[in-house]
């Protein structure tokens, strides 16, 4: 069970994250530019896998909002260099530079009115990498992804690349110190991921914020429902609106696109349906428990924090470019954007639409979690505070409206 949250707190946290993560300081500019230039070459170099053939760009395609699955036969999970399929849907690498490092932050619980520490931030869906640098090391060495046998093997490939001289000159790396050289390589990739191409703020939504475009009536209605705490309440987790927003209908919000990242970087247990197409799920005892199995969580958690309470929790993703991100949720279990919105509306009023039937009748809700962890699913916050027989928070037309609004979050590719 999780607790309701305060949009005001969320937005302040987001503003701090923007200040920390997104903007490169002017004096670091030249070095950062050289690093980013090299990082761009590394990002799309298919020589950097074992066997060759898979680059970061294979799963994070620059032409597709840095999303992709490397031609996997299962659209929910990516194919790695050896042909092995992964277990989680690759998120976009866009706007990832705004994610603060993983940690426990203080927030007010609206139900108990007590301040409490909750997990937030970090790269990956379970936040296990603190920074983009640390994140980039993951896929290079992960057997299910780029499968390099060692850091030295990656360094050797970089030095032998067509950009080998640039790498030597920019990074000052040699094969003699593979540990340091590998760290510099991840710095270059991270610098690339901090460049403008990863956060152009070039969507229709951004132009509306800048006063350069107008929502259609349906999109405007969808934006209202998205913010309305008694309807979609999406803003409670997919936060935005600046330091002092009001999520009330007609409330005031920032018009600066950078104040709208559509996440507060916290974690929640949505209870997405099990996806039988993921090969690892052929084993009925296989469950992806997300945050509670994150390495090192116990050491970081405050005293008294119940680790098992975050089994099934995944990071709230940004919704920027979400229209391009199908299939949806960490396990890619929902095929279309409209269905993802409909899931929020009807998960609790019509569970049979999303979950298989139990042996004796009613739908087996939260079937992608072991029974003992199903009570972790959020059933208190709007819009999923309903019960069978009650009216969904959103009707079909309102689901259409929110879907139309979410489609305005797609960036226009740089010309
Ligand atoms: C074979 C597919 C594949 C390749 C290759 C790959 N990734 Fe990923 N990427 C993923 C998956 C899957 C996740 C989510 C994994 C998880 O949450 O445990 C991910 C997560 C990320 C994230 C975290 C985003 C967020 O919001 O948390 C970033 C950033 C990223 N990858 C960048 C890279 C970089 C840089 C490279 C190359 C060094 C790379 N990826 C190579 C599949 C891939
Ligand atoms: C209580 C927090 C919370 C609320 C409220 C919330 N979301 Fe989410 N949302 C999440 C989390 C956490 C995930 C990731 C779940 C996962 O991967 O299993 C997510 C994922 C999504 C995704 C899938 C994104 C992707 O790339 O796969 C969409 C679409 C989405 N939310 C839209 C909405 C909309 C629309 C609303 C309002 C009707 C909403 N959310 C309300 C927490 C929330």
Q: How far apart are the C-alpha atoms of 289 and 295, rounded to whole Å? A: 12
154: in domain:
yes
CA of 126 to the centre of ligand 1 (A): 12
pLDDT confidence of residue 30: 85
CA of 415 to the centre of ligand 2 (A): 31
**Residue that the structure tokens 């949505």 belong to:** 270
Own/partner pairs, 102-108, CB within 8 angstroms, 24+ separation: 102/127, 102/128, 102/129, 102/130, 102/300, 103/300, 104/300, 104/301, 104/302, 104/305, 105/13, 107/5, 107/6, 107/9, 108/6, 108/9
Residues lower than pLDDT 70 in the chain: 1-28, 110-111, 243-251, 414-415
Q: How far apart are the C-alpha atoms of 219 and 241, rounded to whole Å? A: 17
Q: How far apart are the C-alpha atoms of 6 and 264, rounded to whole Å? A: 10
174: in domain:
yes
pLDDT confidence of residue 246: 65
Q: At what angle do helices 29-43 and 164-171 cross, to 10 degrees?
A: 150
What CA dihedral angle connects 70, 73, 79 and 81, to 10 degrees? -90
Q: How many domains does the structure of the chain reveal?
A: 1
CA of 56 to the centre of ligand 1 (A): 7
288: in domain:
no
Domain range spanning residue 177? 7-198
Is the four-CA dihedral 241, 242, 246, 251 of positive or negative sign? negative
pLDDT confidence of residue 251: 66
Of 329, 368, 383, best ligand 2 pocket probe by most atoms within 8 Å of the beta carbon: 329
330: in domain:
no
Pocket around ligand 1: residues whose beta carbon is below 6 Å from it? 54, 56, 58-60, 70, 78, 80, 86, 88, 90-91, 93, 96, 123-126, 132, 135-136, 139-140, 145-146, 189
Q: How far apart are the C-alpha atoms of 408 and 328, rounded to whole Å? A: 17
Q: Which residues pair with 203 in a beta bridge?
A: 411
81: in domain:
yes
pLDDT confidence of residue 250: 63
Pair of tokens at residue 96: 């990832």
Q: Quote the pTM value.
A: 0.93
Own/partner pairs, 294-298, CB within 8 angstroms, 24+ separation: 294/126, 294/127, 294/128, 295/128, 296/128, 297/119
221: in domain:
no
> pLDDT for 160-200, tens place per residue?
999 999 999 988 888 899 999 999 999 999 999 999 999 99
Pair of tokens at residue 18: 């923007």
324: in domain:
no
CA of 316 to the centre of ligand 2 (A): 6
Cis peptide upstream of residue 327 (ω within 30 degrees of 0):
yes
Q: What CATH number does the domain containing 39 carry?
A: 1.10.760.10
Where does 279-384 have alpha helices with state H? 297-300, 337-346
**Residue that the structure tokens 């916290």 belong to:** 266
Using the CB atoms, write b or e for 234-257: b if 16+ within 10 Å. bbbbbbbbbeebebeeeeebbeeb
pLDDT confidence of residue 1: 32
345: in domain:
no
């Amino acid at each position: 069970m999780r607790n309701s949250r305060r949009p005001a707190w969320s937005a302040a946290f987001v503003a701090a994250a923007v200040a920390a993560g997104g903007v490169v300081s002017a004096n670091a500019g030249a070095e950062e530019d050289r690093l980013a230039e090299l990082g761009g070459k590394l990002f799309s170099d298919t020589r950097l896998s074992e066997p060759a053939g898979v680059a970061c760009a294979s799963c994070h395609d620059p032409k597709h909002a840095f999303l992709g699955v490397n031609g996997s036969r299962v659209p929910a999970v990516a194919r790695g260099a050896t042909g092995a399929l992964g277990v989680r849907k690759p998120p976009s690498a866009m706007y990832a530079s705004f994610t603060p490092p993983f940690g426990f932050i203080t927030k007010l619980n609206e139900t108990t009115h007590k301040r409490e520490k909750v997990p937030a931030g970090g790269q990956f869906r379970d936040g296990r990498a603190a920074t983009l640098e640390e994140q980039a090391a993951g896929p290079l060495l992960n057997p299910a992804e780029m499968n390099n046998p060692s850091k030295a093997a990656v360094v050797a490939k970089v030095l032998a690349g067509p950009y080998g001289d640039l790498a030597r000159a920019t990074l000052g790396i040699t094969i003699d110190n593979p540990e340091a050289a590998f760290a510099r390589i991840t710095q270059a990739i991270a610098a690339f991921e901090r460049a403008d191409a990863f956060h152009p703020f070039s969507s229709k939504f951004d132009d509306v914020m800048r006063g350069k475009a107008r929502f259609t009536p349906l999109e405007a209605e969808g934006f209202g429902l998205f913010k309305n705490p008694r309807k979609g309440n999406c803003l409670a987790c997919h936060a935005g609106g600046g330091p002092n927003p009001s999520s009330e209908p007609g409330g005031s919000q920032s018009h600066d696109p950078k104040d709208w990242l559509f996440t507060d970087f916290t974690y929640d247990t949505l209870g997405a349906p099990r996806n039988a197409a993921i090969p690892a799920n052929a084993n009925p005892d296989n469950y992806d428990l997300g945050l509670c199995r994150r390495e090192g969580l116990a050491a970081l958690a405050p005293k008294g924090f119940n680790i098992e309470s975050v089994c099934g929790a995944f990071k709230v993703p940004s919704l920027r470019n979400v229209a391009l991100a199908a299939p949806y949720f960490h396990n890619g279990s929902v095929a279309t954007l409209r269905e993802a919105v409909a899931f929020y509306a009807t998960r609790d009023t019509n569970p049979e639409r999303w979950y298989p039937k139990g042996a004796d009748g009613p739908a087996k809700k939260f079937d992608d979690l072991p029974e003992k962890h199903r009570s972790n699913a959020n059933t208190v916050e709007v819009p999923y505070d309903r019960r069978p027989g009650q009216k969904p928070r959103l009707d079909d037309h309102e689901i259409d409206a929110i879907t139309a609004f979410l489609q305005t979050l797609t960036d226009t590719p740089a010309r």
